Structure 1
Amino acid sequence: MRAPAWLPERVRRPLRVVRRHWRVVASRLERFTSPVRRSWRRSLQVRVVTLTLVASSLLVGTFGWFIADRSAKILLHRAQDEVSASLKRKVVWASQQLTVHPQAYDPQLPSTISETVNELYDGDQADDSGTVVSIRAERYPELAPQTVPAVDTGELITPELIRAVAVDGRVAQQIRTAEVGGRTTKYLVYGSPVPSKFGHVELYYMVPLTTEDRAANQIRNTVLVTGLALVILLGVVAGLVTRLVVTPVRVAARTAQRLSAGLLDQRMRVEGEDDLALLAAAFNQMAANLQRQIVRLEEMSRLQRRFTSDVSHELRTPLTTVRMAADLIFSERDEFDPAVARSAELLQAELDRFEGLLTDLLEISRFDAGFAALDAEHTDLVPIVRRVAERLTGLAERVGVELQLRLPDTPVIAEVDPRRVERVLRNLVGNAVEHGEARPVQITLATDDAAVAITVRDHGIGLKAGEERLVFNRFWRADPSRARQTGGTGLGLSISAEDARLHGGWLEAWGAPGEGAQFRLTLPVRAGDRLVAAPLPLIPRDRTAEVS
C-alpha cells in the first residue's frame, strides 16, 4: 500500500522504510507458515491431533487452575482459622496481664507490656519461628510500641489496619508482603483490641504464610506436570487412534487414484470384521462393478465406433452408384415435367447432405480410433478466413446476413493444418449465418507472440446458461424446432472441437439469450506449444461494455 501523495516527504520516507521491512517480515512468515498450512489442509491426522491437544489443554488447564486455586484457598482458610483461634487466646492472656494496671500512666506498664510481648512470642516458637508479635497503644503516645522480634513492621501494620483496630475497636486482618529480616515474606496480619482498666491497647499478630505458599506451589507444580503429561498422553492416544482410521482411508484414496488412472484390477486388503473391513469390502465390490461396467462400455464403444466406420465405408459404394444416376437425372431435369424436375433437385440436395453426413461420420471414426493426424505447415491465416467468407457469402445473402471481416493488414503466420482450420471456420461461420437472425456476423482475427485467435460473433438467438458446453456434443442443436438453412449434419462443431484439440488449441463458446453468441478458436503459433492465453476475449467487447 503506497503512502498518500499529499503527505510530506519526511512522513512518507519512514512509511516506505516500514513498508519495506514489513514485506521482508511477511515473506519470512509466509515461508514459515506455508508448510504448516499445507499440513493442516492435507492431513486429517494433523487436524484431529491438533484439535485434541487444544481442547484437552483448555480442559486440563481450566481444571488444574480450579484445583490449584481451591487448594490455595483451603490452605489460607486453615491458616486464618488457626491464627484467629491463637489470637483470641493471646488477647485473653494479654488482657489478664494488663488489667493489674489501673491507668496508662503507671510506671510499671511499659515493663508489663514488654514482658507480655515476650511471653506471647515465646509461646509461638514451637509453631513458627517467623511469627511477629506487636503491642501498640495509639491512644497513649507515651507508651512506645513493643515488637518481638525487633523488626520494622511499618509495611505489615498499615494505617488502614491501625484505624480499624484502634479507632473502630474491631478485629481486622489483611495479607501483606514485606521484607522482614532480609527476606521478602508474605504475612497474615491480625489486629485486635486488648481491653484493660485504662482503656485498650492493640495486639498485632503476624504469621508468615511460607508453609502455605510452599504447599500451594507444590500443588500447582504437581497439577501442571500432571496436566502436561495428560495432554501429551491424550495427543499420543489421539494420534494412534486417528492413524488406525486414517490409514485405511489413505489406502482407499491411493487405490481410487490407481483405479482412476486405469488400473482396474486394484483392490483394498480386507482384514477383520469391523467397520473398516466392511468399508474395504464395499470398496472392492464397487471397484469390481465399475470394472465390469467400464469393460462393457468400452466394448460397446468399440463396437459402436466399428459399426459407424463399417457402415460409413459400406455406404460409399451404393452412394457412388446412386450419385452417378442422380447426376444424370439432374443434368436432364429441364426435359422433365416440373414435378419430376423438382424431385430431381430434391434428390440431388439430399444426396449432397447424405454424402456430407458420411464424410463427417468417417472423420469422427478416425478421431475415435486415434488415427487423425495433423499435417501442420506454416500458413497465412488471413487468406483462409477470406476464402471461407467468400464461399459462404451466397448463403449469407440469401438469409440477409452481412459478413464483416476484421483482419490485420499484415500476414498472420502460424504452424497449422490449413485444411482442418478452414473446416473449423466453415462450420463456425455457417452456424453463425444460420442463427444470425438477419443481423451482421463479425469475423475477427488477432495474434500475439504465442497464439492466434479467431472469433465468430453473431447477434441471433444466443445460448442459454450451460449450453456453451453442450454445443460441441454430437448431434446437439440449440433449437430443434428451427428450420435449417445449411442442411448440417449435427457433427460440425464436434469435429471442429476435435480439430482444435489436435492442434493443441481451444474451441470455446459464449452466448446469452437474445444477445447472440461468439465462438473463439485459439491455436498456438508454433505446433506443440502450450497455450496460456488468447489474443481475443471470449466474451465480446460490446457485451463487456454494456455490463460495465
Structure 2
Amino acid sequence: MVGTSGHFWAGLTPGLRRALTFWRRSIQARVVVSTVVLSAVIVSGVGWILLQQTREGLLDHRVDVVLGEVDAEIGDARARLDAASGTEVNASRQQRDLVDPIIDRGESRGYSVVLAGPEGEDVPLREGGGEYTSGLDLRSVPEAIEAHFDGVNRTTAWSYTEIVRTAEDGQARTDPGIIVGSQVQLPSDGNTYTLYFLFPLTAEEETLGLVTRALLTAAGLLVALVAGLTWLVTRQVVTPIRMARRVAERLAAGRLQERLEVVGEDDIARLAYSFNQMASNLQRQIRQLEELSWVQRRFVSDVSHELRTPLTTVRMASDVLHDARTNFDPTTARSAELLQAELDRFENLLVDLLEISRFDAGAAMLDTEDVNLVDVVDRVVDAARPLADQRGVRVVVEQPVEPVRAEVDVRRVERIVRNLVVNAIDHAMADDPTEAVVVRLASDEGAAAITVRDHGVGLAPGESAMVFNRFWRSDPARARTSGGTGLGLAIAQEDAHLHGGWLQAWGRTGQGAQFRLTIPRHAGAALRHSPLPLTPEDALSSDAAVVTGPADAVRTEEGTRS
C-alpha cells in the first residue's frame, strides 16, 4: 500500500503535488473550500426549486390567459356564424369569413391559427388540408391533439408543442408554445370544423431567462460572500494556532525563551496564556534536569577519578596478600582470593565509569584503521570461550565468504562485540544443547553489520526502551556470573554513535534476543541501511515489522532495544 501511494505521488506534476501538500497542511483552505462547496450545493438546490416554481407559475398563468382568449375567439366566431346563417349559403365563403378575421387578429397579437376539417373526411392536416396562418408549418400541430378531434362534439383541449415557422429567408424557426383546439359547426353545410390556436411562449422564456440570470448572479455573490466570511472567521482562529505552532517549533529546537503574545481575554488569549505557562514550566523542569544531569556527570567523573588513588593503594595491598595466601590458614587465604576478585570487579566498574565520563565530556575520539571484522569477532569469541564452556553454551560464528572490511576503531568495536557476546552467553538457555549463540557478519558497498543471536529469556514488552540505560539489567535477580556492571550496553551504544552507526536490538519473551551493530564501511560516511535484518529469520511469523533508524530511535511494536 505504501509503495502504491509512493508511485502515485511520484507520478503527479509538481504543481499538483504542491496543491495537495497545501491542502493537507492548511486547515483554513479545507474549511473555506468545504464551506463554499456546501454553500454552492445548497444555493443550487434552492435556486433549482425556485426556478421550477417560477416556471410552473408562468406556464399556469399563460395557460389560463390562453384558454380565456380562445374562449373569447370561439364565442365571437359562433356569434358571427349565427348572425350570418340566414344569408350565407356558400360553405367555402363562410369558412374564409370565419377564419380570416381570427388569423388577422392572431398575427397582430402574436399567435397562429389553423382551421382543419370538416371532420369525417380522411384528409390529413399535414397534407395541406384547411386554412392556416401564413408561414406556419402544420407539423406544429401534435398528432395527439389532432387525434383528439377525430370526431364531432369534442371538448376543448390544449397541449404544449413546438411551433415551427418558416422565415422570409427560408430558414425554419422553432419556438415552444401552447396549442388549444376547439370545434365549431358551419351553418352553411352543417359540418364540424376544428380551430387550432398556437400561442408562443417566447415572453415566458425571456422572463424565465431573466429570473435564471438574476438567481445565478445572486447565488454567485452569496457564495463569494460566504467564502469571504469563512476565510475571515477561520483566519481569526487559525492565525493564533499558526503562531502557536511556530513558537512550539522554536521551543522544540531549544529556544526555550520563546512565548506567545497574549491579546484580549477570549478563549484564544486564554489558550496563549496556558501555553506560556506550560512553556515556562517545561523550561524550568528542563533546566533542573540539565543541572541534575550535569551534577550527576560531574559526580561520576569526580568519583571515578578520586577513587583511582585509593584503589591503587588497596590493589597493591591486595596483591601482597594474594601472593602470600599460601602461608595463611584456609579462611584467611579464601578471604584474600575474594578480596582480589572483588577488586577486579571494582576496577572494571571504575574503568567503565571513566569511559562514561569521557563520553559525557565529549572527549572520546576514534582511532580508525581498515580491518577485517571477522578477525575482531574471532578474537572476541575465543576470549569468551571459557565463559561459554562454564555456562554450557555453544558459540557459533557464521563465517562470510568475503572479508567484512571497514574503517573502525578496533578497540571500541571489539568492546561492543565483547559486550554483546558476553550478554548473549549470560542470558542463553544453558540447558538446551540444540540452541547456540550465533554471530553473523555481512557487508555491502556502504555498510558492515554484526548480529548476535541468543535463544534465552528474551525481553518482556516495555523493557526494550530501557535496555541501553546505564546500570539497567533485564533481571536484577540474575546471578552475575559474568561480572557485569550494567554499563556495558550504554558504553557500546556510545561507541556505535562515535562511528556514526546503529546499535539495535530485537527481543521476545521466551524467544531470545538479537542485537545488531551496523557501521559505515568508510569513516564519516552516512549510514542508510544494514546488510543484515534486525528480526531473526527463526522468529515467529507474528513478529512485528521493524523500522530501522538511528541507534537511539529504533521502533517496533514491542521488544526492540535501542
TM-score normalised by L of structure 2: 0.86
**2:42 match: secondary structure:** helix
Distance in 2 (alpha carbons) for counterparts of 1:336 and 1:74:
125
Query: Which residue of 2 is the match for residue 21 of structure 1?
Result: none
Q: Is the 8 A contact 1:450 1:531 kept in 2?
A: yes
Distance in 2 (alpha carbons) for counterparts of 1:529 and 1:71:
77
State whether structure 2 residue 167 is matched by structure 1 residue 171.
no
**2:37 match: secondary structure:** helix
Q: Is the 8 A contact 2:459 2:474 kept in 1?
A: yes
Q: Determine which of 42, 51, 70 is the counterpart of 1:59.
A: 42
**1:392 match: secondary structure:** helix
Distance in 1 (alpha carbons) for counterparts of 2:192 and 2:514:
107
Distance in 1 (alpha carbons) for counterparts of 2:155 and 2:488:
107
Q: Determine which of 91, 103, 116 is the counterpart of 2:74.
A: 91
Q: Determine which of 105, 116, 133 is the counterpart of 2:113.
A: 133
Query: Which residue of 2 is the match for residue 348 of structure 1?
Result: 340
Q: Is the 8 A contact 1:166 1:193 kept in 2?
A: no
State whether structure 2 residue 65 is matched by structure 1 residue 82.
yes
The 5 Å alignment of 1:206-225 reads: 206-225=198-217
Q: Residue type matched to 2:61 in 1? A: R
Q: CA deviation at 1:142?
A: 9.2
Q: Is the 8 A contact 1:330 1:345 kept in 2?
A: yes
Greater shift in the superposed pair: 328-337 or 292-301: 328-337
Q: Determine which of 287, 290, 312 is the counterpart of 2:282.
A: 290
Distance in 2 (alpha carbons) for counterparts of 1:315 and 1:195:
137
Distance in 2 (alpha carbons) for counterparts of 1:77 and 1:171:
17
Query: Which residue of 2 is the match for residue 331 of structure 1?
Result: 323
CA pair 100-497 structure 1, distance change in 2 beyond 3 A? same
Q: Residue type matched to 1:134 in 2? A: V
Q: CA deviation at 1:503?
A: 0.5
Gaps of 5+ in 1: 1-23
Aligned-pair Cα RMSD in Å = 2.7
State whether structure 2 residue 64 is matched by structure 1 residue 68.
no
Query: Which residue of 2 is the match for residue 451 of structure 1?
Result: 447
Q: Determine which of 101, 124, 138 is the counterpart of 1:154.
A: 138
Query: Which residue of 2 is the match for residue 119 of structure 1?
Result: 101
CA pair 237-163 structure 1, distance change in 2 beyond 3 A? same
Distance in 1 (alpha carbons) for counterparts of 2:9 and 2:52:
41
Q: Is the 8 A contact 1:132 1:147 kept in 2?
A: no
**2:307 match: secondary structure:** helix
Query: Which residue of 1 is the match for residue 426 of structure 2?
Result: 434
Q: Is the 8 A contact 1:136 1:202 kept in 2?
A: yes
Q: Is the 8 A contact 2:142 2:161 kept in 1?
A: no
CA pair 194-327 structure 1, distance change in 2 beyond 3 A? farther
Gaps of 5+ in 2: 1-6, 168-172, 546-562
Q: CA deviation at 1:93?
A: 2.5
Spell out, residue by residue over 1:166-211, the C-alpha distance to the aligned partner (whole angstroms, 9 max, x if none): 3482332222224313322111111223366636322211101000
Distance in 1 (alpha carbons) for counterparts of 2:155 and 2:328:
139
Query: Which residue of 2 is the match for residue 17 of structure 1?
Result: none
Query: Which residue of 1 is the match for residue 165 of structure 2?
Result: 180
Q: Residue type matched to 2:65 in 1? A: E
State whether structure 2 residue 273 is matched by structure 1 residue 281.
yes
CA pair 142-160 structure 1, distance change in 2 beyond 3 A? closer
Distance in 1 (alpha carbons) for counterparts of 2:22 and 2:183:
69
Q: Is the 8 A contact 1:323 1:351 kept in 2?
A: yes
Q: CA deviation at 1:146?
A: 4.2
Query: Which residue of 2 is the match for residue 527 of structure 1?
Result: 523
**1:177 match: secondary structure:** strand
Q: Residue type matched to 1:135 in 2? A: L
**2:98 match: secondary structure:** helix
Distance in 1 (alpha carbons) for counterparts of 2:99 and 2:114:
7
Q: CA deviation at 1:111?
A: 2.1
Spell out, residue by residue over 1:277-304, the C-alpha distance to the aligned partner (whole angstroms, 9 max, x if none): 2222222222222211111111111111
Q: Residue type matched to 1:256 in 2? A: A
Query: Which residue of 2 is the match for residue 536 of structure 1?
Result: 532
Q: Residue type matched to 1:189 in 2? A: I
Distance in 1 (alpha carbons) for counterparts of 2:163 and 2:94:
29
Q: CA deviation at 1:432?
A: 0.3
Distance in 1 (alpha carbons) for counterparts of 2:212 and 2:155:
35
Q: Residue type matched to 1:132 in 2? A: S
**1:542 match: secondary structure:** coil
Distance in 1 (alpha carbons) for counterparts of 2:229 and 2:541:
61
The 5 Å alignment of 1:441-480 reads: 441-480=437-476
Query: Which residue of 2 is the match for residue 190 of structure 1?
Result: 180
Q: Residue type matched to 1:464 in 2? A: A
Q: CA deviation at 1:465?
A: 3.5
Q: Is the 8 A contact 1:98 1:113 kept in 2?
A: no
State whether structure 2 residue 229 is matched by structure 1 residue 237.
yes
Distance in 1 (alpha carbons) for counterparts of 2:306 and 2:12:
70
Distance in 1 (alpha carbons) for counterparts of 2:8 and 2:473:
57
Query: Which residue of 1 is the match for residue 307 of structure 2?
Result: 315
Aligned length: 521
Distance in 1 (alpha carbons) for counterparts of 2:122 and 2:537:
105
CA pair 163-339 structure 1, distance change in 2 beyond 3 A? same
Spell out, residue by residue over 1:413-451, the C-alpha distance to the aligned partner (whole angstroms, 9 max, x if none): 311111110110110000000011123111112111111
Q: Is the 8 A contact 1:434 1:485 kept in 2?
A: yes
TM-score normalised by L of structure 1: 0.89
Distance in 2 (alpha carbons) for counterparts of 1:475 and 1:147:
115
**1:174 match: secondary structure:** strand
